Amino acid sequence: MKFIIKRDRLIAGIQDVMKAISSRTVIPILTGMKIEAKQHGITLTGSDSDISIESYIPAEEDDMVYVEQIEEGSIVLQAKYFPDIIRKLPENTVEIEVDSNLKVTIRSGKAEFNLNAQDAEEYPHLPKLQTDDSFEMPIDLLKSMIKQTVFAVSTMETRPILTGVNLKLVDKILAFTATDSHRLAKREIPVADANIEFQQIVVPGKSLNELYKILDDTEETVEISVTNNQILFRTKHLNFLSRLLDGNYPETSRLIPEQSKTKIQVKTKELLNTIDRASLLAKEERNNVVRLFTPNDSIIEISSNSPEVGNVVEEIGIQAMEGEELKISFSSKYMIDALKAIEYDEVIIEFTGAMRPFVIHPLNEDSILQLILPVRTF
């Protein structure tokens, strides 16, 4: 194997696949990065066996030459050293060459590294997914769906299924749902050209967080394919493969109240900042509880009390209110997470009493839903 490659393009590819490489894997060769050279381009692969990422660098694209003098072959290099070496090389052109004894020579300017490598034959074969059963969506919309739901997954291993996000595609509606049983986040979008349906796909939250980081904010699309135990996200230069979680995701639709007793309309940012301030005194306490009170139909009062430290109270004007007066307590952290996930200027919050879950969604937009269980304090 031999090739000469543009360093900045190689660095970008390395950064992507490094997100799947862990130094703590039980399979030693997975601490390495696989490099495969073909005449049409270079493929980098990293995997921790839960997530596998392939990044492709074409030899030529849009009249630019990225890789030259390619002699085909493949090798596995230690991921602990390789990225730093490439990042710190003196020139933007890098020559990588492998001899018959698995010795890799990396040259750039007057610097020459000789590294011990491993045989690519020993690297596990990634499962190849059928791409017949797939659908496409814009990358920015997928990122938005991840951002609006993944924070609500459980971090506790007591119910492993809740550490993932449930993906459903039924009647050409794609829904992402996440819950840790104290709150729930849900986002739906229509998918026009879907030729598949599924209900019980659960993708680990960790996988979606890594996918979110790796996807560029482009106008391009991502192709999503699903099997029983794997999901593949494919973009122009990237294959992102994740295992799925085993088990049945709980039926969440009956948790969502269908009517409300108190309904307020408020500016998202103003409510977020006020709750953030009120939570400052509650740092210590596990649930970080704040109280919301509706003294009349033009303001709400947010307050918090910590006997040791002191108390805080603040009023905010609201845009509209309907229904009964309300006093309710909830976790400021859950409320802040929910409001940050809603990328709209105004929200509607619908309460059905101080002890029932309440629902937040953007004004005039029901496809995004955040649900929070209150805390008993009043």
- Of the candidates 39, 62, 110, 228, which one interacts with a second copy according to CB under 8 A? 110
Q: Interacting stretch for a second copy, rule CB under 8 A, among 44-52, 169-177, 311-319, 366-374?
A: 311-319
Nearer to a second copy, 112 or 366 (CB): 112
- Of the candidates 24, 310, 364, 376, which one interacts with a second copy according to CB under 8 A? 310
Note whether 89 binds a second copy by CB under 8 A: yes
Cβ 85 to a second copy shortest distance, Å:
6
Cβ 312 to a second copy shortest distance, Å:
5
Note whether 274 binds a second copy by CB under 8 A: yes
Note whether 24 binds a second copy by CB under 8 A: no
Cβ 241 to a second copy shortest distance, Å:
29
- Of the candidates 65, 280, 320, 355, which one interacts with a second copy according to CB under 8 A? 280
- For the record, the structure tokens of 10 come out as 């190689």
Nearer to a second copy, 11 or 115 (CB): 115
Cβ 350 to a second copy shortest distance, Å:
25
- Of the candidates 81, 130, 295, 366, which one interacts with a second copy according to CB under 8 A? 81
- Of the candidates 130, 229, 311, 319, which one interacts with a second copy according to CB under 8 A? 311
Report which residue type is found at 80: K
- Of the candidates 206, 263, 277, 356, which one interacts with a second copy according to CB under 8 A? 277
**Distance separating alpha carbons of residues 216 and 287, to the nearest angstrom:** 35
Note whether 376 binds a second copy by CB under 8 A: no
Contacts of 220 (CB under 8 A, 6+ apart): 138, 139, 235, 236
- Of the candidates 125, 283, 286, 376, which one interacts with a second copy according to CB under 8 A? 283
Note whether 285 binds a second copy by CB under 8 A: no
Note whether 118 binds a second copy by CB under 8 A: no
- Of the candidates 4, 11, 29, 316, which one interacts with a second copy according to CB under 8 A? 316
Note whether 313 binds a second copy by CB under 8 A: yes
**Distance separating alpha carbons of residues 375 and 179, to the nearest angstrom:** 17
Cβ 110 to a second copy shortest distance, Å:
5
Binding residues for a second copy (CB under 8 A) = 78, 80-81, 84-85, 88-90, 103-104, 109-116, 273-274, 276-277, 280-281, 283, 308-316
